[in-house]
């Protein structure tokens, strides 16, 4: 699965893997793909430093990258406490009532809830960059919007390629104007924040819009046949997120959640604002149903919703309250039916890709004769 871009970046396969887990990122890079570690959950720079040091020691000297969440809109001088104060009491009560209905226990005294908004704030993303640039990262990806010009310049000074996710051709062109090197065209099927256009439609639109910039196709890709389809649509590679969640290297901290993912079909996700306030595809649960129910109070805008539900989500995860337990994941969850190593996923992608290419060659050969 080689392309011009994979050769340029020095990887065997044009398969980029987004993951929140350092062990998965290292395994993707070791297996010949390009591991990209998600930084949003690192609110303390020292934790990110520890994990990037670990990645340096375990990625086998292969290239890897970091994904930060730098929102396009800059919020100056706003603290988490300011945002807390903006949350209506009715919404807090709705959270309390919903948790009580399912008998969800509280956290222990002083136990921090894992999910904070701070990783979404530009000042935090900037401290993450300071740490990241002290490590040999080869790619910096930005999730929400174009990275600021000074960040692009800083990355380029260090020979780091810059990527950004786009859900429409218009977004992709903005990224191109911001001077980035690679556009990730992420379709509606994808896990996490998504736009409204499917990968099949989005990829060729973005490829045309930003030509000659290389494009990675993302969203709904989990087989080699789909990798071949993405390259056929003009992509220079693929960017996969969901598929790694059920690998043996992933650390979801919840056997119940892993079981739910393995059992889920492709129709068991929903694009909901329940987690962050922006539409994000995730496992459909009784928690997302409660938020999406017109009889409820409705979700708050980002970053209020994320802060409102942070503690609740931690409690649901800690106590594995199955009806409410979920995670961002895309429609490809329907193919994630057994726990496999990252290497096994890569091997499967390679085999499927070769089969697809053979098949197309056969078809083309036959049509050539007719
Ligand atoms: C659990 C999970 C968390 C994600 N978090 C982020 C994130 O923090 N930053 C980001 O750029 N993309 C994030 N994404 C989206 C991925 O980068 C990727 O675009 C997407 O997973 C691709 O579609 P797929 O899920 O169908 O493979 C996340 C995806 C998942 C499944």
Band (369; pLDDT cuts 50, 70, 90): very low
Average pLDDT over residues 23-28: 98
SS3 state of residue 31: coil
* pLDDT band per the 50, 70, 90 thresholds, residue 76: low
Q: What is the dihedral of CA 30, 344, 199, 144, to 10 degrees?
A: -40
Q: At CA 124, angle to CA 51 and CA 319, rounded to 5?
A: 65
Residue 245's pLDDT band, with cuts at 50, 70 and 90, is: very high
Q: What are phi and psi of 20, to 5 degrees?
A: -80, -5
Instruction: pLDDT band for 370, please (50, 70, 90 cuts).
Output: very low
Atom of ligand 1 nearest to the CA of 328: 1
* Digit-coded pLDDT (tens) for 166-178: 999 999 999 999 9
- Lowest mean pLDDT: which of 70-79, 176-185, 268-277? 70-79
Choice among 113-122, 230-239, 261-270, 356-365 with the minimum mean pLDDT: 113-122
183 within 8 A of 172, measured Cβ to Cβ? yes
Beta sheet of 269-272, edge-to-edge order: 192-193, 280-283, 269-272
| Ligand 1 center to 232 CA (angstroms) | 23
Is ligand 1 within 6 A of the CB of residue 66? no
Cα of 192 from ligand 1 centre, angstroms: 5
Does residue 328's CB lie within 6 angstroms of at least one atom of ligand 1? Answer: yes
Q: Whose CA is nearest to atom 15 of ligand 1?
A: 192
- Measured in Å, residue 110 CA sits from the centre of ligand 1 at 30
Residue 55 has pLDDT above 50, yes or no: yes
Distance 242 CA to ligand 1 centre (A): 7
- Dihedral of CA atoms 98, 258, 255, 39 in degrees, nearest 10, equals -80
At which residue do the structure tokens 């931690």 appear? 314
Per residue in 324-366, pLDDT tens?
999 999 999 999 999 999 999 999 999 999 999 999 999 998 6
Note the pLDDT tens digit of each residue in 290-320: 999 999 999 999 889 998 999 999 999 999 9
- For residue 368, pLDDT over 90 is answered with no
pLDDT for 21 beyond 70: yes
* Ligand 1 closest atom vs CA 239: 22
Of the chain, the percentage scoring pLDDT greater than 90 comes to 84
- For the segment 57-80, the average pLDDT, to the nearest whole number, is 83
State how far the Cα of 318 lies from the Cα of 359, in Å rounded to an integer.
47
75 versus 313: the higher-pLDDT residue is 313
DSSP letter string, 310-323: HHHHHHHHHTT-GG
Q: Which of 28, 184, 191 to mutate to test the pocket of ligand 1 (most atoms within 8 A of CB)?
A: 191
**Residue 118 above 60 pLDDT?**
no
Ligand 1 centre and the CA of 238: distance in Å? 12
Tell me: the pLDDT tens digits for 210-219? 999 999 999 9
Q: Is the CB of 69 under 6 A from ligand 1?
A: yes
Which ligand 1 atom lies nearest to the CA of residue 329?
A: 31
230 lines ligand 1 (CB under 6 A): no
Residue 116 binned pLDDT confidence (cut-offs 50, 70, 90): low
Q: Which atom of ligand 1 lies at the shortest distance from residue 222's CA? A: 27
Q: Give per-residue burial for 302-312: e unless 16+ CB within 10 Å, then b.
A: bbbbbbbbbbb
Mean pLDDT of the chain: 93
Confidence check: pLDDT of 26 > 60: yes
Residue-level pLDDT at 73:
61
State pLDDT tens for residues 253-276: 899 999 999 999 999 999 999 999
Q: Which two tokens stand for residue 315?
A: 């409690």
Whether 17 lines ligand 1, by a CB cut-off of 6 Å, is no
Sign of CA dihedral 16, 18, 23, 26: positive
Atom 16 of ligand 1, residue of closest alpha carbon: 241
Q: Which position has the higher pLDDT, 370 or 230?
A: 230
String of DSSP letters for 114-176? S--SGGGSHHHHHHHHHHHTTTT--EEEESSSPPPHHHHHHHHHTT-EEEEEESSHHHHHHHH
Confidence at residue 72, expressed as pLDDT on a 0 to 100 scale: 59
Q: Write down the pLDDT at residue 261.
A: 98
């Amino acid at each position: 699965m080689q392309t011009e871009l994979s050769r340029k970046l020095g990887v065997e396969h044009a398969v980029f893997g987004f993951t929140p887990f350092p062990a998965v990122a290292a395994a993707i890079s070791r297996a010949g793909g390009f591991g990209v570690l998600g930084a949003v959950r690192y609110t303390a720079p020292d934790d990110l430093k520890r994990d990037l040091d670990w990645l340096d020691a375990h990625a086998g000297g292969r290239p890897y990258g970091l994904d930060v969440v730098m929102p396009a809109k800059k919020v100056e001088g706003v603290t988490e406490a300011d945002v807390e104060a903006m949350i209506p009491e009715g919404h807090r009560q709705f959270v309390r009532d919903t948790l009580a209905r399912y008998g969800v226990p509280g956290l222990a005294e002083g136990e921090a809830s894992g999910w904070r908004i701070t990783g979404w704030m530009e000042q935090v993303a900037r401290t993450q960059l300071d740490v990241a640039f002290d490590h040999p990262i080869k790619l910096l990806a930005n999730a929400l919007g174009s990275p600021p010009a000074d960040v692009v310049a800083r990355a380029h000074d260090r020979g780091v390629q810059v990527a950004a996710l786009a859900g429409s051709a218009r977004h992709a062109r903005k990224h191109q104007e911001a001077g980035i090197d690679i556009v990730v065209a992420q379709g509606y099927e994808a896990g996490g924040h998504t736009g409204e256009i499917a990968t099949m439609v989005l990829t060729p639109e973005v490829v045309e819009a930003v030509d000659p910039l290389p494009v990675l196709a993302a969203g709904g890709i989990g087989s080699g046949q789909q990798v071949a389809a993405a390259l056929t649509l003009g992509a220079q590679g693929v960017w996969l997120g969901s598929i790694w969640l059920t690998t043996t290297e992933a650390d979801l901290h919840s056997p119940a959640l892993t079981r739910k993912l393995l059992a889920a079909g492709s129709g068991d996700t929903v694009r909901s604002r329940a987690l962050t306030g922006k539409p994000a595809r995730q496992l459909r649960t009784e928690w997302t149903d409660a938020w999406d129910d017109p009889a409820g109070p409705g979700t708050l805008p980002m970053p209020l919703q994320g802060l409102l539900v942070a503690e609740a989500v931690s409690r649901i995860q800690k106590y594995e309250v199955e009806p409410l337990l979920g995670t961002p994941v895309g429609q490809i969850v329907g193919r994630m039916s057994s726990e496999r190593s990252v290497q096994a996923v890569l091997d499967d992608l390679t085999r499927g890709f070769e089969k697809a290419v053979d098949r197309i060659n056969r078809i083309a050969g036959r049509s050539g004769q007719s």
